[in-house]
Amino acid sequence: MESFSTHLGSTVAHFYACSELNYYQTIGWLNLVVFFINCSSVFAFCCNSKVGQKSSDTFISRFLRLGSVAGGYIYGHIPLVYRLYSSGIDEAMFYHIISTLCLTTAAIIYAVDFPQRWYIGKFDIIGQSHQIFHILSAFCCYFDILAVEQDVLNRERYWGVLSQQADMLSLWHVCIAAVLLTISCMVYASNRLINHRDRIGHC
């Protein structure tokens, strides 16, 4: 759920508050469609991998979950890549880059199961890959919030310009879709968990 909410929030913020105006105008309402498909498919896949028919290979199962999530994150970072290419680095972009590096490092560490994969028995409680993943994810969120704050405070560009667009009302559609999507995902996860318990029995 953490990855889902982070993915959902950062994708919306990057498009509506941090993207260049020409990119925003080019994508338009299609952003809502891609956003909805990404979030729903990622959550369904991750949920099934947890309480569905899990792979016998933990590494493959973890890699597939990360792969499904990566698609959504990559889409959410396209506005930033385009902005970096067209406008270079400013203070906000510097924070965006740090956030992306934290996210990328977290995904790699989690996927390769470092360090406990190579140092068996030494990092079972403290310093394991899952723990490092969540710490780096928290740093990712922190620097992403700093970056978005800088873009919102910039009255001459980004949010200052994007918020004046005639179709900015579509942001309300995204907010409504996000609430409905969150509720539907919670219902879906509950049903999958009930089916899982019925299949294996209660402990």
Q: Is 77 annotated as a binding residue?
A: no
In contact, 76 and 34? CB cutoff 8 Å: no
DSSP state of 55: -
Please report the DSSP string for 107-171 in residue order: HHHHHHTTTTTTSTTTSSSSS-HHHHHHHHHHHHHHHHHHHHHHHHH-SSSTHHHHTTSGGGGHH
Q: Is 173 annotated as a binding residue?
A: no
The binding site for Zn(2+) comprises 130, 134
Q: Which residues are annotated as a binding site?
A: 130, 134
